[in-house]
Amino acid sequence: MNEHLGIDLEHLELEGAICCYLLDAPEPTIIDPGPATTLERLVGELDANGIGRADLRHVLLTHIHLDHAGSCGHLMEVFPHAVVHVHRDGASHMADPERLVASTRRTFGALHDRLWGEVKPVPEDRIRAWDPGAAGPWPGLRPVSTPGHIAHHLAYLDERDGTLFSGDAMGIVLAGGPQHPPTPPPAVNVADWRRTLDEIGRIGPERFGATHFGFHVDVEARRAQLAERLDALERRVRTAIEAGIEEEEADAARFEREVRTELAPFMGEDRVNRYFDMFPAATDWAGMAFYAKRNPR
**All domains of the chain in start order, with CATH:** 1-128 (3.60.15.10), 149-297 (3.60.15.10)
CA distance linking residue 139 with residue 201, whole number of Å: 23
What is the per-residue pLDDT for 74? 98
Instruction: Tell me which H or E stretch contains 200.
Output: helix 190-203
How far CA 89 is from CA of 68, 147, 178, in Å, comes to: 16, 12, 31
pLDDT digits over 68-112, tens only? 999 999 999 999 999 999 999 999 999 999 999 998 898 888 889
- Give the integer Cα–Cα distance in Å for 6 and 13: 16
pLDDT computed for residue 247 by the predictor:
85
- For residue 288, name the pLDDT band (cuts at 50, 70, 90): very high
Widest distance between CA atoms in the chain? 59
Q: What is the pTM of this model?
A: 0.96
* pLDDT tens by residue, 247-262: 889 999 999 999 999 9
Contact between 165 and 158 (Cβ < 8 Å): yes
Question: Which band of pLDDT confidence, cut at 50, 70 and 90, is reported for residue 245?
Answer: confident
Adjacency order of strands within the sheet including 127-130: 5-8, 19-22, 29-31, 58-60, 83-87, 127-130
Look at residue 111 in the predicted model and tell me its pLDDT: 86
